[in-house]
Amino acid sequence: MAKISIISAGSWGTALALLLYNNGHQVTVCSENEEEIRMLQEKREHLTKLPGVPLPEKMEFTTDMERALSDRDLLVMAKASPYVRSTSCRIAPLIRKGQLIVNVAKGIEADTLMTMSDIISEEIPLANVAVLSGPSHAEEVGRGLPTTIVTGAGDRDTALYVQNIFMNPVFRVYTSPDILGIELGGSLKNVIALAAGIADGLGYGDNTKAALITRGIAEITRLGIAMGARAETFYGLSGIGDLIVTCASVHSRNRKAGYLIGKGYTMQEAMDEVKMIVEGVHSARAGLELSEKYGIETPIIQAVGEVLFDDKSPRLAVDELMQRVKKDELAPELWETAGNREK
């Protein structure tokens, strides 16, 4: 049995807390939000973010961050990405040397273009930081529905430890050394999900969504490779897997925000309606800057940015994407060898 604290009492943090408790671990959920913690203590259910999922009587909920972070085998950083730096800075004095922190937040910091694990490492240099990501809606994990995910770490022993802590018969965990690729896939897919939602809001069909998913993963892969990530990662769980579930699911807050924008809402109106952090808006800014920094063509990310930040008509943005200059799907030089294949 491991002693584990979850930093954040949101939907994902609560779902993972239940998963880890059911795996036989001692679990504490900590948050500075006194009203939220009081609700969890009294109702044993997150009434607003994970309704219908009962929480065990022996699971601890607290606002005492110092006690929650003391003498723990593992900490789970489940804060929404805009709050990861401030939270890491605040808890840094409480973290012992070598403390394992598993980041489950998805995003890229717009100002610095840093991933969440890099931010945690910068603010808490004594920590050993790993990541956990993939196609995993909190609503389904909380209900115990089969889910598959990937953990990334700086060394294999850490990855195997995280795998063993989280894995159970309905939650399968793979390991990978490609932390950067895992985090880029988990962040930039939210931008493509906004595009998929916008297309739904405009009344477009499955053909459009399939095009956005396939061409979207091509953009993410090009950018990721340029940044030093491995191509295989984007064809796996934290790449195409997470992209599919986020673009297609009714649980996806990014798809929902995009849908509302397609229906005529402004970006702010859509975010207010969703009532949760829409990570794709923050990641869109970072995606635009990363594309420019590395000189990578990302037309879908660019189009989403124009809709979000330049008030471009969503329908016009789709029209312009469809009317871009003609392209080969594969590298043009492959035509030179196409006729040489064995019959």
Angle between helices 179-201 and 279-294 (to 10 degrees): 120
Residue 322: other Cβ atoms inside 10 A: 9
* CB neighbour burial string for 255-283, b if at least 16 within 10 angstroms, e if fewer: bbbbbbbbbebebeebbeebeebbbbbbb
> What is the pLDDT, as a whole number, of residue 26?
97
Confidence at 316, pLDDT banded by 50, 70, 90: very high
62: phi then psi, degrees, rounded to nearest 5: -150, 155
> What is the pLDDT, as a whole number, of residue 338?
78
Q: Going by C-beta distance under 8 Å and a sequence separation of 6 or more, which residues neighbour residue 326?
A: none
Element (H or E) spanning 167, and its range? none
pLDDT, tens only, 187-217:
999 999 999 999 999 999 999 999 999 999 9
Report percent pLDDT > 70 for the chain.
99
Q: In the predicted model, what is the mean pLDDT of the chain?
A: 95
Confidence at 341, pLDDT banded by 50, 70, 90: low
> What is the pLDDT, as a whole number, of residue 342?
55
Domains with residue ranges and CATH for the chain:
3-177 (3.40.50.720), 180-322 (1.10.1040.10)
Residue 232 has pLDDT above 60, yes or no: yes
Catalytic residues, which ones?
189
Query: Concatenated DSSP letters for 75-93?
Result: EEE-S-GGGHHHHHHHHGG
Q: What number is the average pLDDT over the span 104-131?
A: 96
- Looking at the DSSP bridge assignments, the partners of residue 7 are 30, 77
> What is the pLDDT, as a whole number, of residue 340?
67
Confidence at 275, pLDDT banded by 50, 70, 90: confident
> What is the pLDDT, as a whole number, of residue 257?
95
Q: What number is the average pLDDT over the span 292-318?
A: 96
Residue 343 has pLDDT above 70, yes or no: no
CA dihedral 99, 233, 224, 101 (to 10 degrees): -10
Considering the entire predicted model, what is its pTM? 0.94
